[in-house]
Amino acid sequence: MPVAPVLLGLALAGGADQISGIARSVIWNQSIPDELRGRLAGVELLSYSVGPQLGQVRVGGMAALIGVRGSVWAGGLACVVGVLGLTAALPKLLAYDSRTDPHAAAVRATRKAAEGPAAATV
């Protein structure tokens, strides 16, 4: 197999991952109350640290059963099916708008109240 299509696919996947990370950060910053950020950051860190290791276990186990090529294809297919399934199950995530999201509005109101009238004079 030529290397160029593989490198192009990796570049596209990396770019999509960056866009996803930016979108996650924006939604996080606009909708998570300040008092919950530490707890939720811990959960997020756990998912980032455990997820790749579980993926390696899956790939290794499947490679032992059906071979490396089949394992890689099955993982890619599972990823695509998972994304499509989550997209269908969570349509509001695609339509997220901080101007109309009730959680983002509540966080804005809390932050504005915490700033108080002194912040308006600065």
Q: What tens digit of pLDDT does each residue of 20-51 get?
A: 889 888 888 888 888 888 888 888 888 888 88
Residue ranges making up the domain that contains 45: 3-120
> In the predicted model, is pLDDT for residue 74 greater than 70?
yes
What is the average pLDDT across 91-99? Answer: 84
Query: Would you state the pLDDT for residue 49?
Result: 86
Task: Provide the sign of the torsion angle of the four alpha carbons 29, 30, 35, 39, taken in this order.
Answer: negative
> In the predicted model, is pLDDT for residue 61 greater than 60?
yes
Q: Using alpha carbons, select from 33, 57, 48, 24 the residue that is nearest to residue 114.
A: 33
pTM of the model: 0.58
Place of tokens 């990796």: 10
> In the predicted model, is pLDDT for residue 121 greater than 60?
no
> In the predicted model, is pLDDT for residue 12 greater than 60?
yes
Count the domains in the chain.
1
Buried b (16+ CB within 10 A) or exposed e, 32-59: beeeeeeeeeeeeeeeeeeeeeeeeeee
Query: Would you state the pLDDT for residue 20?
Result: 87
